[in-house]
Structure 1
Amino acid sequence: MNHNNKNNHLGRKSGHRKSLLSNMASSLIKEKRIFTTLEKAKVLRKYVEPIITKSKINTTHSKRNIFSYLRDKTAVSELFKDFFEKVRERPGGYTRIIRMGFRLGDQATLSLIELVDFNKIYISKKTVKSVRRSRKRIKKSES
């Protein structure tokens, strides 16, 4: 029976899985988007979103807690920089998973996982409504 087994263990032992997720999370924070399989992306989303939520509190204690998950100084310092401010204002849902296709060798589903606020395509800009110009017929007066 499969009761109480919510986590996908990715076919790895716990130490390998923890190091895999910490490396993927730190590269996601540094690069803002990474390509991986769909299963790894789903597990990474559950791993990295609480870390980003913890980065909203800018204290030494939260930095040390995040470092215990990521084990990468540059990724931790990246989380607390000013251009991550728009992420801190978001109430949740920091990542987006987009399915890209299938890998040639084993037909595994490839996907793109990215941070939502750093994609310039999907960020909605205010659309300028164009003024409709119509030509009016000028009636010639009968003289």
Structure 2
Amino acid sequence: MPQPTKGPRLGGSPAHEQLMLANLATSLFKHGRITTTQTKAKRLRPLAERLITQARRDDLASRRLVRKTITEKDTFVQLFEEIAPRFKTRPGGYTRIVKIGPRKGDAAPMAIIELVEELVVAAPAAPAKVAKATAKKATKADVLAAQAGETEDEAPAAVAEVEADDAKADDK
């Protein structure tokens, strides 16, 4: 069982705090960004990221766990069909908190919590130099094959010739 947070809670009771965070998460998924106090934003971030991670799995158990928190049907569907696929390749860090200064009435520190928009592309497996060299050799072979009018079966011979020429140029 998770240990309750120490000190004062956001609401009056633990149940009120859970409901408040669930409403904040629902609003975040519905609108993409919300303005709230820094304390609430910091408390919302782990919950929202956990819900997105569950939605990325997209199985029955995950749907049931998320449905306990996100009770609005349209927001629930949006989370599973639009938001989770957008973060499929991202390993974590789905939200961003930006501090915006004090609120006018009571000077409470305010923040914007939003879903991160940019997509993360997986890093190439090969180092950059090796990938560039391979691409360069392949292009030279294609050009030579096209100039000579060779078929695809003769292309490996052209690649060997290009590699031999590159080796001679590197020796000089």
Normalising by structure 2, we get a TM-score of: 0.62
Shift in alpha-carbon separation, 1:40–1:82, aligned structure 2, 3 A: closer
Instruction: Assess if the C-alpha contact under 8 Å between 1:54 and 1:62 holds in 2.
Output: yes
**What do the CA deviations read for 1:42-80 (whole angstroms, capped 9, x no partner)?**
000021111111111111221111001222222211111
Quote the residue 2:20 is aligned against. 20
Instruction: Assess if the C-alpha contact under 8 Å between 1:8 and 1:43 holds in 2.
Output: no
Shift in alpha-carbon separation, 1:95–1:6, aligned structure 2, 3 A: farther
**What do the CA deviations read for 1:111-143 (whole angstroms, capped 9, x no partner)?**
10000027xxxx79xxxxxxxxxxxxxxxxxxx
Instruction: Assess if the C-alpha contact under 8 Å between 2:11 and 2:20 holds in 1.
Output: no
Count of residues in Structure 1 that have an aligned counterpart in Structure 2: 117
SS at match of 1:25: helix
The answer as to 2:59 corresponding to 1:77 is no
Where does structure 1 differ by over 6 angstroms across 4 or more consecutive aligned residues? none
Q: Cα RMSD between the aligned structures?
A: 2.2
**What do the CA deviations read for 1:92-112 (whole angstroms, capped 9, x no partner)?**
000000001111111101110
Quote the residue 2:99 is aligned against. 99
Give 5+ residue unaligned stretches, structure 1: 125-143
Shift in alpha-carbon separation, 1:79–1:11, aligned structure 2, 3 A: closer
Counterpart amino acid of residue 106 in structure 1: D
Instruction: Assess if the C-alpha contact under 8 Å between 2:56 and 2:84 holds in 1.
Output: no
Who wins on radius of gyration, i.e. which is larger? 2
Quote the residue 1:33 is aligned against. 33
* Residues 1-143 of structure 1 mapped to structure 2, 5 A cutoff: 5=5, 9-82=9-82, 84-117=84-117
**What do the CA deviations read for 1:5-46 (whole angstroms, capped 9, x no partner)?**
458622521111111011110110010000000000000002
Distance in 2 (alpha carbons) for counterparts of 1:67 and 1:59: 12
Shift in alpha-carbon separation, 1:109–1:75, aligned structure 2, 3 A: same
Instruction: Assess if the C-alpha contact under 8 Å between 1:87 and 1:117 holds in 2.
Output: no
Distance in 2 (alpha carbons) for counterparts of 1:24 and 1:48: 9
Shift in alpha-carbon separation, 1:9–1:18, aligned structure 2, 3 A: same
Distance in 1 (alpha carbons) for counterparts of 2:97 and 2:34: 10
Quote the residue 2:136 is aligned against. none
Distance in 2 (alpha carbons) for counterparts of 1:89 and 1:111: 27
Quote the residue 1:141 is aligned against. none
Identity level (%): 38
Distance in 2 (alpha carbons) for counterparts of 1:7 and 1:73: 34
